[in-house]
Amino acid sequence: MTSDLHIVWHRQDLRLTDQPAVHAAANHKILPIYILDDAAAGDWALGGAQRWWLHWSLTRLAADYTALGAELMFARGDAVDILSSLAERHGAAALHATRHFEPYARRQEAALTAAAPCPVHLHASGYLREPGAVTTGSGTPFKVFTPYWRACQSLGAPGAPLPAPKQLSGTRNVSTERLDEWQLLPAKPDWAAGIAQMWTPGEAGAHAQLAHFGPERAQLYGTDRDLPEKPGTSQLSPHLHFGEVSARQVWHSLGNRMEIEAAEPFIRQLGWRDFSVSLITHAPDLPEAAWSPKFRNFPWRDDAAALKRWQRGQTGYPIVDAGMRQLWQTGWMHNRVRMIVASFLCKHLLLHWRHGEDWFWDTLVDADLANNAAGWQWVAGSGADASPYFRIFNPIAQAQKFDPQGQYIRRFVPELADLPTKFIHAPWTAPQNTLTSCEVVLGKTYPHPMVDHSAARSRALGAYEQIKAA
């Protein structure tokens, strides 16, 4: 027998405002559920930093539901089986979810639609424009960002966000697992202290961060976005990834039409987010395989020791080490520095971009299958609309340009903090007496550069020569 029960399946949409699945179910009896289904995600099951985030985001979502009169249910296992039997058991009238575009998420949606004993409604996700909404004149997906973005802009403002429900009617007699049984938080050692200091997961945390960024900073984004020591970017990425805020909520928070126009360089980044997800929809193997076929035979090196030094921020290049340590300590890294450390891994060390992608996957609180794969392939030169391979970032020149006073380096590489600005970007160029007076002993308190920039550059270009003609 069918009841008036509507099930809402939460995934990367952990919010109640502008949440189309919740909105559609809000006038019925509602049973919201989150299912931890690591097996479905396979190699892309959540990494450590995101498990920490998920714990707190779900804790807050559950509290928000309770305040409105419903209980969020937790379950682990095969999402399709769990949802189908839940719907069967309760005689559910419908099942709602927002669309997701990771290859495994799309497989789950297809399987659920086939297996569920009730209608399955898939609602719009948290993007400005979903994959498929913006196509070339011939109906194919864009493979180059600039024309893609022009086509998006011609569509005007995204629709207004949906309101939050004022009250919900939950259902009783639901057996739920306890979130703390899932052991999403690190125990021994508890490496999350720096992450906890920087972030407040959950919908309220997302809106506090959005308000903190605000229209004024959004308008300054074009000038400040490349300086890692400034709060020039929004730091909304984990909130956007977990769907604690939608992209159109961000857009509409930026003010009137003129203010939104002035914030175009910032909004364009939301466009890159949409572009990346449209790429992965088109090429589901984007996280595993080079978009450009000629890169599939690139002569990558194998060097576990070098990879470890990169991961630990011990390369001897201060800007690279600062970035890798920022990542480890806070679960996030500034975009400019992501590009520098990624270029260093793929080009200076000639290590496969997949090693970097995996490390980011485990350590970033904003790890996102589409953005991470597209970001790595962009830097490696193998992606759609990628930076050309022969564009090899010079880590010293990049540091001098974007961290001219070395404040960012001093913050994350404290053993160099006393060095004069003149030497902070390349400590090995400092005279011995300066190093001594600043208590820097190269090879002891801070490493010698693990590769010589010019030699590494030539080696990378030589490797590229081998595939260039292919």
Footprint on this chain of ligand FAD (rule: CB under 6 A): 225, 233-237, 240-241, 269-270, 272-273, 276, 335, 338-339, 342, 360, 364, 366-368, 371-372, 375-376, 379
- In the complex with ligand FAD, which residue's Cβ is closer, 339 or 440? 339
Query: Nearest Cα to 65, choosing from 174, 161, 179, 170?
Result: 170
How many secondary structure helices (H) and strands (E) does the chain include? 22, 6
Smallest distance, ligand FAD to C-beta of residue 457, A: 19
| Buried/exposed 297-329: b ≥16 CB within 10 Å, e otherwise | ebebeeeeebbebbbebebbbbbbbbbbbbbbb
Distance CA 185, CA 274 (A): 30
Beta bridge partners of 94: 6
Q: Which is nearer to ligand FAD, 168 or 327 (CB)?
A: 327
Q: Quick check: 58 and 14 in contact, CB under 8 A?
A: yes
Kindly state the smallest distance separating residue 109's Cβ from ligand FAD, in Å.
22
Sign for the CA dihedral angle at 137, 142, 147, 151 comes to positive
Q: Which residues pair with 442 in a beta bridge?
A: 446
Q: Please provide the distance, in angstroms rounded to a whole number, between the alpha carbons at the two ends of the chain.
A: 62
In angstroms, what is the minimal distance from the CB of 361 to ligand FAD? 7
How far apart CA 262 and CA 258 sit, in angstroms, is: 6
C-beta of 299: minimal distance to ligand FAD in Å?
21
Report the residue closest to ligand FAD, judged by CB. Answer: 375
Q: Which is nearer to ligand FAD, 131 or 427 (CB)?
A: 131
- DSSP string covering 118-156: S-EEEEP-SSSS-TTSSB-TTSPBPSSHHHHHHHHHTT-
Smallest gap from residue 170 Cβ to ligand FAD (A): 32
- Alpha carbons 395 and 319: distance in angstroms, whole number: 7
8 Å CB contact between 21 and 96? yes
Nearer to ligand FAD, 170 or 331 (CB): 331
Which CB atom, from 233 or from 246, has the smaller least distance to ligand FAD?
233
Label the pairing between strands 94-98 and 5-10: parallel
Distance of closest approach, residue 233 Cβ to ligand FAD, in angstroms = 3
268 vs 459, beta carbon nearer ligand FAD: 268
* Pick 260 or 440: Cβ nearer ligand FAD: 260
Q: What are the backbone angles phi and psi of residue 139, rounded to the nearest 5°?
A: 85, 5
Q: Using the minimum distance from each CB to ligand FAD, give the nearer residue, 92 or 247.
A: 247
CB 456, CB 349: distance < 8 Å: yes
CA distance 207 to 88: 37
The residue (of 84 and 276) whose beta carbon lies closer to ligand FAD is 276
Which is closer to ligand FAD, CB of 237 or CB of 311? 237
Closest CB 175 distance from ligand FAD, rounded Å: 35
CB of 341 to ligand FAD, least distance (A): 8
Q: Min. distance of Cβ 235 from ligand FAD in angstroms?
A: 4
Least Å from the CB of residue 269 to ligand FAD = 4
Residue closer to ligand FAD, measured from CB, 6 or 336: 336
User: Tokens representing 303?
Assistant: 């060097």
Cα 400 to Cα 387: distance, rounded to the nearest angstrom:
21
Nearest distance in Å: CB 15, ligand FAD? 15
Contacts of residues 42-47 at CB distance under 8 Å and 24 or more positions apart, as own/partner, are 42/104, 44/102, 44/104, 44/287, 44/361, 44/369, 46/367, 47/361, 47/362, 47/363, 47/364, 47/367
Give ∠ CA 318-390-455 in degrees, rounded to 5. Answer: 55
**Shortest Cβ 246–ligand FAD spacing (Å):** 11
Would you say 388 or 431 has its CB closer to ligand FAD?
Answer: 388
